[in-house]
Amino acid sequence: MSLLVIGLSHHTAPLSVLEALSERPDRAEAIASSVLGSATATEAVVLSTCNRLEVYASVPAFHPAVAAIGEALALAAGIEEPEGLREPAELPPGDPADALAARAEALADHLYVRYDDAAVAHAFTVACGLDSMAVGEAQVLGQMRDALAGAQHRGQVGEILNALFQGALRVGKRAHTDTDIDQHSVSLVQIALEEAAAVLGPLEHTAAAVIGAGGMSGLAAATAARAGVRSLTIVNRTPERAERLAEDTSGTPRPWSDLGDVVAESDLVITCTGAVGHIITADLLAAGATRRGGRRQVVIDLALPRDVEPVETWHVPVPGVTLIDLQALGLLLEGRADTTQVVRVQDLVTGEVADYLTRRMEKSVAPTVAALRARAADLVASEMDRLDQRLPGLDETTRAEVGLAVHRIVEKLLHTPTKRVKEFAMEGSGDDYAAALRELFDLEPKDVANVSTPPKRGQS
């Protein structure tokens, strides 16, 4: 089995493409189920964040798995091949199938593929925050942990991806404990507040509102509170969650029905609800701007799909309103990471990837080595039984000496083959050498399987 990662992120796709893949709350489960249902993968974990969607899979063959995962991503984005799709030359202007085919092709242009060793390096890099929009951020660790836990709960992950994700999580933690990347990284919320202050002036004089009460909203509320905003209002569809977050951040909870009033009354609005559809429209902002009498307002949209109607779809500009979304934040964050700390984390990742690959290659030949040693132990035991039958009066001391001598002979005979198979594994040819050992020593496939087959997915 080999590792395969296929995905797209803020590095390869515009916000509109990422948004198309974010509109289904159950997208991760649906994508993983589709991939596993295609029988081209034995395990699958889907990592979905505000700026990336990636499928990690354990696959027996590269090309069929790439095709299946690509199809699953296309379906998740609402791109599916309609029945009886005609050739492009046969399509009349404006035919929906034409647009559908174009969207599918456009999605493929934004995908990246990482295979085997490169897949390991990618997972470790992501876990350390080096591939994040805000380089060095730690939130992705929790997102990877949740993705793994969800796949485990659904029985979609086994030994291979468990090992990969556990290794990535461990390396990610090391990046934050063994380097100073935390002290030099700038979060999405921090850079957004800096930009807001550039427009509004000192935040101590601003009335702020946070829409939503999830993880990112909680981070935004806490960061705004630390920045010393004059007042902080929390709005959420679930009143209890709004009340808890307000209590934690010394804010004031407001019901969802007050959303329009809260937007109009706030100088700074930060929203991240995870809703499908725009909860803050251009018309709502325009109504608020009229009530505000021209006072400046900054709206920060950290959600994907977007909570705020994009500026390019507004019929007319809304006076005094500055909208900052994830795409704008990505541009603001370029070049903000501390190069020295990034290099330290990159060196850490390089060493950890090498160690992981070493352990994996040694493990790949371990079942053959174990089966070979088990066969040798069985032969020694069998010969000692024959000795007992032929020399029943042999005293225990002499028998022990004979047994030890036989054991030493076997160990010396096996030492070079078992040492060499591990060395060949490090050179990438361990599978061929292990196969040769199985042929030379007549090791049955079931003998190797007995020491190498993990429980099936979903079984304990």
Q: How far is residue 107's CA from residue 99's CA, in Å, rounded to a whole number?
A: 12
Contact between residue 323 and residue 311 where contact means Cβ atoms under 8 Å apart: yes
Is 50 one of the annotated active-site residues of the chain? yes
For the four alpha carbons of 438, 441, 445 and 448, in that order, the dihedral sign comes to negative
> How far apart, in Å, are the Cα atoms of 137 and each of 17, 53, 127, 239?
23, 17, 9, 29
CB atoms within 10 A of CB 67: 12
**Contact at 8 Å (CB) between 285 and 321?**
yes
- Record the tokens describing residue 55, joined without a space: 């499928």
Q: How many CB atoms lie within 10 A of CB 104?
A: 17
β-sheet bridge partners, residue 297: 321
Look at residue 245 and give its three-state secondary structure. helix
- What would the two tokens of residue 246 be? 């307000």
Which residue in 74, 70, 40 sits closest to 57, CA to CA? 40
* H or E stretch covering 139: helix 139-153
CA distance 128 to 342: 10
Catalytic residue among 3, 36, 47, 50: 50
- Alpha carbons 318 and 282: distance in angstroms, whole number: 7
Distance between CA atoms of residues 305 and 10, nearest Å? 14
Q: What is the DSSP string of 11-32?
A: TTS-HHHHHHTSS-TTHHHHHH
CB 235 within 8 A of CB 252: no
Q: Is the link from the previous residue into 255 a cis peptide, with omega within 30 of 0? A: no
Strands (E) in 90-190, as ranges, are: 112-115
**CA pair distance 258, 241, nearest whole angstrom:** 16
The residue assigned the tokens 């029905």 is 257
Q: At what angle do helices 117-127 and 339-390 cross, to 10 degrees?
A: 130
Instruction: List the structure tokens of 121.
Output: 């390096």
Task: Give the active site residues.
Answer: 50
